[in-house]
Amino acid sequence: MRESVPKVDKLSSLGHVVKVQHVIDFLVLAELQSGRRFGKELDQVITKTLKGVGVNDSYLSQRLKKLAEKGHAHSYWDSDNRYYRYYEITESGIEYFQQLQRDLPERVALAQRVYQAFDATLKKFE
C-alpha cells in the first residue's frame, strides 16, 4: 500500500521569485536617474553592481529596447557617432522604477529563502 504524502501548503510559486528582467530594469532605471547613458555604460554598471556578474549583450539590448517600447526610456543615437545609442529615463520609467522599488524587496527576500533551502538540499548530496 502506498504511503500518503503529507500536504504542504504552497505559499508562493517560483514564478513569483525575482526575475532577471526585473533586476536589469531596476539597475538600468536606477542608473538613468543620474542622466543619459549609452548601452555599454549600462552594461558596466550592471556588472559592477552585481560584483562581476553581468548579462550578455543581446539580452541587455532586448531589455533596453523593451524599456523604450514601453515608454520607460527614450533612446537615440549620438549625432556624431552611430555606435553610441543613448538612453534617458522618462516619467513613465520613474513610475515603473518606483513600482519595482516597492515590489522587489519582498521578491528578493523570497528568492533568498528559496536559494537557502535549495542550498541545504544540495549539501545533503555532498
C-alpha cell at 59: 539580452
Assess contact for 62 and 42: CB atoms under 8 A.
no
Task: Enter the pTM of the model.
Answer: 0.86
Domains and CATH numbers, the chain: 19-123 (1.10.10.10)
Strands 37-38 and 85-89: antiparallel
Distance CA 71, CA 66 (A): 9
Task: Identify the bridge partners of residue 123 per DSSP, sorted by sequence position.
Answer: none
pLDDT in tens, 42-96: 999 999 999 999 999 999 999 999 999 999 999 998 776 667 889 999 999 999 9
